[in-house]
Structure 1
């Protein structure tokens, strides 16, 4: 049963691959340069002496997600790992192209990949025999994922030759010209029959001193920085503002060479009042009370900065008054007199009644004469 299934698969691939690869060969895309010979038959045919096919010659993966059809689709491939060759080859910068398709045999979906072309980073390319570099495997989807490792069987000799032809070779070094032969330190071609006058001139020649080029001094790096460090803020109580100051500093090659005076930079903060931490000032003689506050502002980092201690708010005054509530009367039996007692209180800005003096004889309310039965 297994043998019949393999034969059936071979015949289906032979029937489908031939017309579609012919169509891919007519396309200008170098990845579709496939022959019309069935790769499956080329792999399984031991009678072809020229096409020695080696299993698992190299492994490739798709560079992009590729949809596979029964008609065939071009696919771009990159090499994964080292090739299974006796002669070591370097695949750096080399990629591959080919054609992929699907067929269904006895209810199983089979994918086939044919590698038809190799190219390098300089867009130089070499066409491969389409019947010598193939792979087929079972799939569950019509999408060829970039994570799919495809083991390709192929002709090792043709593959190695194609890779080496695409590898970059370093340029040959130019040979330096040979120096003319000399005898006794002189050029043979300069000898004359006229005596040693030429040699006398050559002997008196002195090599001029080598003039070293003057090194140019590097240009200075100048940088101007603006900072608030070292500049106090200006408190403007009249307008209720805090004015921020800053200064400019000039640095030459990283060292400060000049500094300007602190001036207003246009940034201001509003002065605010806080009554929560300050107690009221009470004047019993004047029968008044004043709340106290401290001044502060909020800077750019949302930090509270206090600028004064507690001080009376002369714009707010609370009146102290007498109340009899909660106070009993005082009785003077000897003088037959009843005195009225009161406490002193005021109402603050939070509408809270504050007592500043406990019950005592009132200085403003008159007492009454009492009649006592003896």
Structure 2
């Protein structure tokens, strides 16, 4: 077949364009990589990932797993990654709850409440997150009292310019057994709620939901406590004359970052929830009222389940952005993945490899978040019944 005939074939042209584009990308990437390696070799700078096995030699102020300066750079990066995931996941959970409540309150018939929520949303959406991080960090450091004058928020919960101190659970044995029992209880409760919902839809008869669900939640924990050796104790903070001892210490950097990420994301979540509720026709609310449902029941059982198909897709972008915005932690000294990577770059003199690693990590986190949200979006999507 002649080249002229191939060019007239639409499928052949589309394939040729794709091959040319891929070849161009590979060629540019190869040129940049070879040029970078040549320049690094001229300056006698080491390349490769062999540095990951060497001793880190620096301290990380907040470590969710055991870490010592004598550990490797790879473990230091793992600590930074876990810090990033920890603060981002907590911010996602808190921002979803707060944003949902604010979004519903934005539609309140009470003008004072709706305007206050409007101010909340606009104030947080139109100021850069970095400035708010500086604000919350400054509030904690310069406004709150010193440790010896810590404010008691709740019994065993103290806040001061050194952060937040809360009671901690110290497990002597059976930690993973307890975790498995809680997971089994939660799964059993969720399954029971689905059974109740299916029974109500198919027969119109309601089964007891919450009492049975609570029993299913507690029963595996009780059985595990009777069959296995599970022991632990609560480590309560004690306020002394000069310092706080015991408990879990949440440092100012972590608290400021968590508050900043949560409030910033919650404003976006609120607008997404509000738009999703407004996308549902008013007839749905009227139909719910005609069935005798209260406003709260109508919102929880009728409006929000239908609004999810509108809410979930843009909510995915908020969650992905929260993971990426956590990289601003370096501005206030929280030891996340970026800060640990920068420390490694300064010590090893290698920049390309650490940057490539945390870029790849953020890419994986974003793709994993999108995959989970796309699965959930498919779960809540409306489906046509096949006759």
Q: So what's the TM-score if we normalise by structure 1?
A: 0.16
TM-score by length of 2: 0.16
Rg larger in 1 or in 2? 1
Structure with bigger helix share is: 2
**Higher strand proportion, which one?**
1
Q: Which gives a bigger RCO, structure 1 or 2 (Cα 8 Å, sep 6+)? A: 2
